[in-house]
Chains A and B, each alone.
Chain A
Amino acid sequence: MKAHTLFAVAPFVSILLMVVGAALRVVYDTSIRVPPPASSAAVNGAGTNLLATIGVLGVLLGHLVMVVWPDQLLIWNRSLIRLIVFEVALVALGAAALGGAVAAVRRRVLQRTANRASLVDAAFLGTWLVTLSSGLAIAIVYRWATVWSAVTVTPYARSLLSLQPDVARLETMPYLVRLHIFSSFIVVALLAFTRMLDFLLSAAARAIGAVAGPLVSTVDRQWRPLQERALRSGRTLIWPEEDD
């Protein structure tokens, strides 16, 4: 029952919270904005941020590969050298992401701000720290996680995606693995209520603008003559005397 609540109910609740929270913030919260120009302190920490961003994206990509292409990953991991390369790369990326999280916590502690938004941000950062630390600890303590996860955690993740959660495989997993998975659900649930959402939404808006902008202007160019012709025809129908 406990495992069912933690690993079969919690993931869906966290995703629901994220989607509903993000939608509400987009509709009602005016605080969502494009981040202001970087301050000198932010510029100084840009290198750390870039490294941490690469770390986070790399770790997420690694997890995506584990869930979406487990068979291909197992084939890749049949060679010991390739297995070591993949594991070491993920550990390095995880360490970079953890470094970024620690730097963010340090900045937050030094700032000593305590409004409502920053409390949620602090909770998010704390949970994110737990997720990254437990992931790194798993990679170090339980060797070859990219292989054994293919028959343990990946089937569980896929069962979630098919909306038929099967938690039996997780019940025999070590505490660290369960902590890593559960804390990631909390991270997802808190995401919509943090300033991180602002950055994600503005990045998404920029990406959509970059892709859709040229498309919209092309459609607009094609549409305008048609629109003008339709207007002229309408005027002629309504005020035929004006043509004379």
Chain B
Amino acid sequence: MPDHDLSEAQVAALLDYLHAGGPAIDEQHRLRLAAEATPLDVQQGRKLFLGETRLTGGALACVFCHQLPKETLLGGSLAPDLSGAYTRYLDWALDQRLRRPCVPGGAEQAARVAETESLALRAFLRSVSATPSSR
């Protein structure tokens, strides 16, 4: 007589989960929040935004389409001002947005920014945000 109320299917799923790495893998996949970023991450995000460091996926730097008046007066004016982007979207939604191509269409399937680049950009956008959120 088992000392738990789990069904056989649930036990099998639990075993599969543990076999696949369990909580350790979860921790690896957990989205690092901008609030946890170091000043170095923020600096890296600034360089990525302004195009001083190239994005590994080869995507255009944000500054060519977006403005960020606190940082530069030379930002593009095709797309919205990103000053309030972090407070509006916060980490999860902003990460998803950063990974998708900015312009619909085309065959690009690869993520536009890498995980570390997403953190750096979110941290940078959080740092220039009008009212930084602690979330």
Give B residues with C-beta under 8 Å from A. Answer: 51, 59-60, 64-65, 74-78, 102-106
B64 near A144: Cβ-Cβ < 8 Å:
yes
CB distance from B22 to the nearest CB of A (A): 41
Total interface residues on A, CB under 8 Å, equals 21
Give A residues with C-beta under 8 Å from B. Answer: 74, 78, 80, 141-145, 147-148, 150-152, 155, 166-169, 171-172, 174
Which residue from B64, B103, B106 sits with its C-beta under 8 Å from A147?
B64
Main DSSP-derived SS at the A contact region: helix
CB distance from B11 to the nearest CB of A (A): 47
Whole-angstrom CA separation of A142 from B13 in the bound complex: 53
B104 near A141: Cβ-Cβ < 8 Å:
no
Chain B residues lying within 8 Å of A141, measured Cβ to Cβ, are 77
Count A/B pairs, Cβ under 8 Å.
48
In the complex formed, the residue of B with least CB distance to A174 is B78
Main DSSP-derived SS at the B contact region: loop
Given contacts A78-B51, A148-B64, are A168 and B78 in contact (CB under 8 A)?
no
B77 near A151: Cβ-Cβ < 8 Å:
no
Chain A residues lying within 8 Å of B64, measured Cβ to Cβ, are 144, 147-148
Most A CB within 10 A of own CB, among B51, B76, B77, B78: B78
B60 near A169: Cβ-Cβ < 8 Å:
no
Enumerate 14 A-B pairs (CB-CB under 8 Å) in ascending A order.
Answer: A74-B60, A142-B77, A143-B75, A143-B77, A144-B78, A145-B78, A148-B60, A151-B59, A151-B60, A155-B105, A167-B105, A169-B106, A172-B103, A174-B78
